[in-house]
Structures are given as C-alpha cells and as structure tokens.
C-alpha cells in the first residue's frame, strides 16, 4: 500500500480537481504495474496500471489502490467495471469513495 500511496503523490497537481489516486498491481510480492490519476479526462490510476499488464494472467494478480474505484462512466470508463472485467483477485482499498455518485461498495 505504501507503493500505491507513493504513486498517488505523482498525480498532483495535474489530476486536480480529481483526487490523487495511486494503484499498484502485484504478482506474489513483486510489483508488475503501477499507475496514478492523470489529468481530468485521461486515465485513472487503475486504468493506468491495468494498461501495463494486458498480457499477464490476471487471476494471479492482486491490486492495491488508495481510493475505492469509481463505478460510473463519466469522462472516463468505470474503473470498477474494468477491474471486474479482468478478474483480478480482491482489491485492497485504502479509502472509501464518499461522493454523491454511486460507488463500488454500495
């Protein structure tokens, strides 16, 4: 999770007004992909990381993300649906997304 937090710091200030989110994907104990929120309208942290591992066996990977993945299609596709679509092992989420928009945990 510390690596995901380090990724989130890379998002600032370009990601604003979106929250700075970091994501790492591991295979056993090795980081195989990492990402952070890009400028508005560009990739979120999860999509940034997922794009790096398209040829991997997703079912053996685990994702750590600093904020609950978005569950709505706005300027970018829903991260929660992208994660579910590749069948990554249960994600470890540091903070729940508290907004007025439907979230993954509801």
Number of domains in the chain: 1
| 37 assigned to some structural domain | yes
Write out pLDDT tens, residues 10-65.
999 999 999 999 999 998 889 999 999 999 999 999 999 999 987 667 778 899 99
Q: What are 62's two structure tokens?
A: 């685990």
| 67 assigned to some structural domain | yes
| 104 assigned to some structural domain | no
| 27 assigned to some structural domain | yes
Q: What is the DSSP letter of 60?
A: G
Tell me, yes or no, if 68 is annotated catalytic.
no
Contacts of residue 23, defined as CB under 8 A and 6 or more positions apart, other chains included, come to: 4, 7, 34, 35, 36, 45, 46, 48, 49, 63, 64, 65, 66
Question: CB of 37 within 8 A of CB of 45?
Answer: yes
Note the pTM of the prediction, 2 decimals: 0.83
Which listed residue (14, 30, 46, 68) is catalytic? 46
Closest CA to 69 of 55, 52, 56, 85: 85
Question: Would you state the pLDDT for residue 58?
Answer: 73
CATH code at position 61: 3.40.140.10
Q: Is the dihedral of CA 72, 78, 84, 85 positive or negative?
A: positive
Residues of the domain holding 85: 1-96
| 19 assigned to some structural domain | yes
């Amino acid at each position: 999770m510390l690596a995901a937090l380090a990724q989130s710091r890379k998002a600032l200030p370009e990601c604003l007004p979106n929250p700075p989110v970091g994501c790492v994907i591991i295979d056993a104990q090795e980081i195989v992909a990492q990402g952070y929120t890009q400028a508005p309208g560009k990739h979120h942290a999860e999509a940034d990381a997922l794009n790096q591992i398209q040829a991997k066996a997703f079912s053996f990977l685990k994702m750590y993300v600093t904020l609950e993945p978005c569950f709505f299609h706005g300027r970018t596709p829903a991260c929660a649906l992208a994660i579910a679509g590749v069948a990554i092992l249960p994600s470890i989420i540091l903070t729940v997304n508290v907004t007025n928009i439907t979230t993954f945990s509801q």
